[in-house]
Amino acid sequence: LWQGDCRQSIRSNMDSVIRKFDGGGVDRVSLGLLPSSEGGWSTAVSTLRRDRGGWLHIHGNVPTIERYTWAHQACQQFFQIVTDQQQHNQLREKGIVICHHIERA
């Protein structure tokens, strides 16, 4: 809740928000879009912290028998997104992409 003249409050509060995001962003992004969250993957990666990355929680409708193939392909796509963004931002660190968990929902 911001008190006072909103035109003034928004300026000072947004300055604070911008300073917090200068470190690169957030630790976690939940991409709960169905049937696929793929359209938001690049944006989600770009919001993660630059200094240590973070977690992406993604969804997709996939036949059970294809879940591991889908996970492998998703990791490959994320690695390409990370690599492209690192090259664009001229970062030296190498990205690592790990599929931590697959769950039937």
Reading phi first (left if > 0) and then psi (alpha if -120 to 50, else beta), residue 2 is in beta
- Tokens representing 83 are 């690599």
Q: pLDDT tens, 19-56? A: 555 556 788 888 887 788 898 899 888 888 877 888 99
- Tokens representing 29 are 């992004």
What is the pTM (predicted TM-score) of this model?
A: 0.71
- Tally of helices (H runs) and strands (E runs) in the chain: 3, 2
* Coil vs helix vs strand at 100: coil
Domain ranges of the chain: 25-105
Q: What is the mean pLDDT of the chain?
A: 80
